[in-house]
Structure 1
Amino acid sequence: MDIITPEELKQLLNEKKQIHMIDVREVDEVKEGMIAGATHIPLGLLEFRLHELNRSREYIMVCRSGNRSGIAAQFLESQGFKVKNMIGGMLEWTGKVQKNLR
């Protein structure tokens, strides 16, 4: 599984690169803040929302610590998607977050 660090992701965002992120945390967790531009799909719903994803895109998976996003990345890879797991998760994210979601 490919990985990306929070700092590498922050750099890509600062460079205005086109990035597709999926935050697999639970609803209560994303209320605390989510990386702007990320799509929220809780891990437990990921398999049911595959139709929303595009296999020609690369997705960066995000969670609280990097564990659930790693599980999500492995699952998506097994389904033919290109993915990277953000190691360290939101615990190590020092960039801006979007709050007051839903």
Structure 2
Amino acid sequence: MISLIKQLFGSKTDLEMILKNGAVILDVRTKNEYDAGHIQHSRHVPLDIIRQQLNQLKKLNKPIITVCRSGSRSAIAKSLLQNAGIEAYNGGSWITFKNKYGIK
């Protein structure tokens, strides 16, 4: 029953704790978007080439928090990563994520 409720309404994931424990922030926006501003020390892999980078991302052996402009592309990226067996979370908008967790 609890898993059904989580599927219907989602569950709160403690992204701050995941981040503090060494998660990688993966920005999946285009190069131009990333170059215009991004979270310091984030990795940049545009969504359109993420499938080609799955093996490299697996080798990181860390949880990945995906971000983009609005949260749509990061949700797709999260699903692709999870389907490849990578622990992944959708961080949503990079700017909102950055401000919420006080990162540069």
TM-score (norm: length of structure 1): 0.72
1:32 Cα deviation from its structure 2 partner: 1.5
Q: Is the contact made by 2:18 and 2:63 (CA closer than 8 Å) also made in structure 1?
A: no
Q: Does the C-alpha gap of structure 1 residues 48 and 31 become closer, same or farther in structure 2, counting only changes over 3 Å? A: same
1:70 Cα deviation from its structure 2 partner: 0.2
Q: 1:46 aligns with which of 43, 46, 50?
A: 50
1:90 Cα deviation from its structure 2 partner: 2.4
Q: Does the C-alpha gap of structure 1 residues 2 and 71 become closer, same or farther in structure 2, counting only changes over 3 Å? A: farther
Q: Where does the alignment leave 5 or more consecutive residues of structure 2 unmatched?
A: 1-9
The structure where helix makes up a greater share of residues is 2
Q: Which has the higher contact order (CA 8 A, sep 6+)?
A: 1
- Secondary structure class of the residue paired with 2:70: coil
- Secondary structure class of the residue paired with 2:89: strand
Matched, 1:21 2:22: no
Q: How many pairs align?
A: 91
Q: Where does the alignment leave 5 or more consecutive residues of structure 1 unmatched?
A: 98-102
1:72 Cα deviation from its structure 2 partner: 0.3
Q: Distance in 2 between matches of 1:3 and 1:64?
A: 21
Give 1:31's aligned residue.
35
Deviating 4+ runs (over 6 angstroms) = none
Give 1:71's aligned residue.
76
**Root mean square deviation, CA, Å:** 2.6
1:23 Cα deviation from its structure 2 partner: 0.4
Q: Highest Rg: 1 or 2?
A: 2
Give 2:3's aligned residue.
none
TM-score (norm: length of structure 2): 0.71
